[in-house]
A and B are shown apart, each in its own frame.
Chain A
Amino acid sequence: MALVLKDITKVVQGVTHIKPTSLTLEKGHFNVLLGETGAGKTSLIKMMAGLDPIASGQIVMDGVNVTKLTTQKRKISLVHQFFVNYPHMTVYDNIASPLKVAGMAKSEIQGRVEEAADILKLRPMLHRRPHELSGGQQQRCALARAIAKDSQAVFLDEPLANLDYKLREELRELLPELFAGRGAVVVYATSEPEEALLLGGQTALMADGYVAQFGTTAEIYRAPDTLAAARIFSDPPINYAPVVKQGGSFRMGDINWTANSETSGLADGEYTVAVRPNHIVPQPNDMATVPLEGRIAVTELSGSESSAHFEFDNHAWVSLAHGAHPYEVGENHTFFMDANACLYFAPDGSRAV
């Protein structure tokens, strides 16, 4: 049971929007499409759903080539970023609508609607209209419609993006339960790296209409293949700067650090070092030992974390640390980088080590 994309492309008026993309999306876990707005996530979803035509390639669902099938004939569900429910129907009728179209018996429709409503806590609202619901409830209604139907694939296109923080957390916790045990391939598009990590499963990193890397979420977070992949999968943005390897150590500006067992084998030359903000902290510890001194430009305190943007060696750097740190904007501060957490990329952007 899988949704297989074979070299699919999208071309609009001679402009390639989606470069040849091949993915094997399996059921049983979340398949996350991660990328910024405009990376091609929605396009790819619409192509898989049959809403946008594909210029070349094949889409195979459970072993059946569905490339030429219309959307109506594919067994799929789609939840949008903004809440799409039929405005003049009650919540019950909204959830039931795809089932009615499929010609299902009334009693079975009722069973399914109630089951979906129970999971999504919509029971008390079944007889209300969408406009009488809050945003979170409207999106739960859209989700209920997606799961009540027997779909081979469920596409969730940034479904939580328009909800406020608390609701987003609440609904995100519900998601894995929602799709557990259902025979559908779940594709989840998001622009937030944190969401991909929380949902787990597999992730495809997208930028500029192509898939930069695809694999187990934790795996590609830990070991991005390219600098582009590392940049997509980091929030706050990953820090990167040129370094020179010479002998057994790396030099960046006027600081040096010694290569470790993994990096000592690297040939001498110029590289790009990339390090996630959480590996740069305001106080030294066992791991964070490389001092970076710079002027603090911006500080942010979010929840239990503080971040500081500072300048070092003519580059902007970001540090992210637990706890509330009393940074002063404009002051010089020495941050400490964990050299063992550094990723090194060759000049062509591919991973060196």
Chain B
Amino acid sequence: MKTENQKAWFFVLPVLILVAFNALIPMMTVVNYSVQETFGNNLFFWEGLTWFEQILRSERFHAALGRQFLFTFLILIIEVPLGIAIALSMPRKGFWVPVCLVLMALPMLIPWNVVGAMWNIFALPDIGLLGYFINHVLGISYDMTQNPFAAWVTIITMDVWHWTSLVVLLAYAGLVSIPDAYYQAAKIDGASNWSVFRYIQLPKMKNVLTIAILLRFMDSFNIYTEPFVLTGGGPGNSTTLLSIDLVKIALGQFDLGPAAAMSLIYFAITLLVSWVFYTVMTKDDLN
């Protein structure tokens, strides 16, 4: 006879309530908005899938999505190799280890809106240290408030500054967990530094790098605060990433229906890409 103890549910209850209130219920509200139209006064009219269709066909959405993918792609191809390179050059033992780790963690500890504000001032061509230096010392015309390319360079640089540390710390954790024996085996094989990296360090870092890329993908794909504070999506719409556009539609235009539909599409894309990436990366381990 199987003994059943229904009391166990009580222990799970707090988690269920928590998840319900912080994820499920808000999410269902969004679903609710996405299929209705409202003009205020708490009056709702059924619209079916109209908003989804409208968003999926909207050129504005396509443009924002394109910018979003470009942004995420650029920061990933910079941050991941750079993070690995920094992790490789960090000391593995001794006095400098904690110093390096703290220095690395610092940018991540700064609140996001502060990062945006810092870089905004830093990059202003007339009063910012960086902006002034580039314009007046290097003599290169640089103004992120006027020039889309300069704006892109600035938001990418800011993100790299803010988040490369995450890749560094995860890659470093992967590196220090490699037993000395592997390095010795490689030395005995006569392997070069490149072979050691390619055949020992990289494969051993694969799991942490998968997590690092996943985290960086999700965070950068959903990024809002820093570019909003830095460029506000401009000049023009040149740095209007998905979330910035979403907020404009939802709060600026008060189009709650389309904004809700866009949120759900946005969420689905993030989820889909993460899932595909994770499944592909861990395929070998499961077999």
Contact = CB atoms under 8 A, between A and B. Distances in A.
B185 A89 contact: no
Interface stretch (A27-35, A53-61, A70-78, A231-239): A70-78
A203 B191 CA distance: 32
A78 B188 contact: yes
B181 A72 contact: no
Interface stretch (A80-88, A279-287, A301-309): A80-88
Contact of B189 (A80, A82, A101): A101
Contact of A86 (B179, B187, B200): B200
B181 A84 contact: yes
Contacts of B284: 88
Interface string B165-204: 0000000000000010110110111111001000110011
Contacts of A73: 190
Given A98-B190, A101-B195, A86 B203 contact: yes
A101 B187 CA distance: 11
A70 B191 CA distance: 12
B3 to A, nearest CB: 38
Contacts of B189: 97-98, 101, 149
A49 interface: yes
Interface of A: 46, 49-51, 70-73, 76-78, 80, 82, 84, 86-89, 97-98, 101-102, 149
A46 B188 CA distance: 11
A52 to B, nearest CB: 10
A102 B203 contact: no
A72 B190 contact: yes
Contacts of A80: 181, 184-185
Contact of A51 (B182, B184, B200): B184
Nearest to B189: A98
A71 B192 CA distance: 11
B190 to A, nearest CB: 5
Interface of B: 179, 181-182, 184-185, 187-192, 195, 199-200, 203-204, 206, 284
Contacts of A86: 182, 185, 199-200, 203
A89 B182 CA distance: 13
Nearest to B285: A131
Q: What are the 3 A-B residue pairs with the smallest beta carbon separation, nearest first?
A: A98-B189, A88-B203, A71-B187
A72 B179 CA distance: 18
Nearest to A132: B287
Contacts of A97: 189, 191, 199
Contact of B181 (A71, A82, A88): A82
A223 to B, nearest CB: 36
Contacts of B203: 86-88
Contact of B191 (A72, A84, A88): A72
Contact of B182 (A76, A84, A98, A102): A84
Nearest to A49: B188
Contact of A72 (B182, B187, B199, B200): B187
B122 to A, nearest CB: 43
Given A86-B199, A86-B203, A101 B191 contact: yes
Contacts of B185: 78, 80, 84, 86
30 contacts: A46-B184, A49-B184, A49-B188, A50-B187, A70-B187, A71-B184, A71-B188, A76-B188, A78-B184, A78-B185, A78-B188, A80-B184, A82-B181, A84-B182, A84-B184, A86-B182, A86-B185, A86-B199, A87-B203, A87-B204, A88-B203, A88-B284, A97-B189, A97-B191, A97-B199, A98-B188, A98-B189, A98-B190, A101-B189, A149-B189
A98 B195 CA distance: 11
Contacts of B195: 101
Contacts of B181: 80, 82, 84
A32 B39 CA distance: 89
B190 A102 contact: yes
Contacts of A51: 184, 187
Contacts of B191: 72, 97, 101
Contacts of A89: 199
A193 to B, nearest CB: 26
Given A71-B184, A101-B191, 9 more contacts: A72-B187, A78-B184, A84-B181, A86-B199, A89-B199, A98-B190, A101-B195, A102-B190, A149-B189
Nearest to A89: B199
A98 B248 CA distance: 60
Contacts of A149: 189
Nearest to A78: B188
Contacts of B182: 84, 86
Interface centre among B182, B188, B192, by most A CB within 10 Å?
B188
A101 B189 CA distance: 7
Interface centre among B189, B195, B199, B206, by most A CB within 10 Å?
B189
A73 B192 CA distance: 11
Nearest to B188: A78
Interface centre among B182, B190, B204, B206, by most A CB within 10 Å?
B190
Nearest to B202: A88
A157 to B, nearest CB: 10
Contacts of A78: 184-185, 188
Nearest to A98: B189
A95 to B, nearest CB: 11
A78 B180 CA distance: 13
Contact of B190 (A46, A82, A84, A101): A101
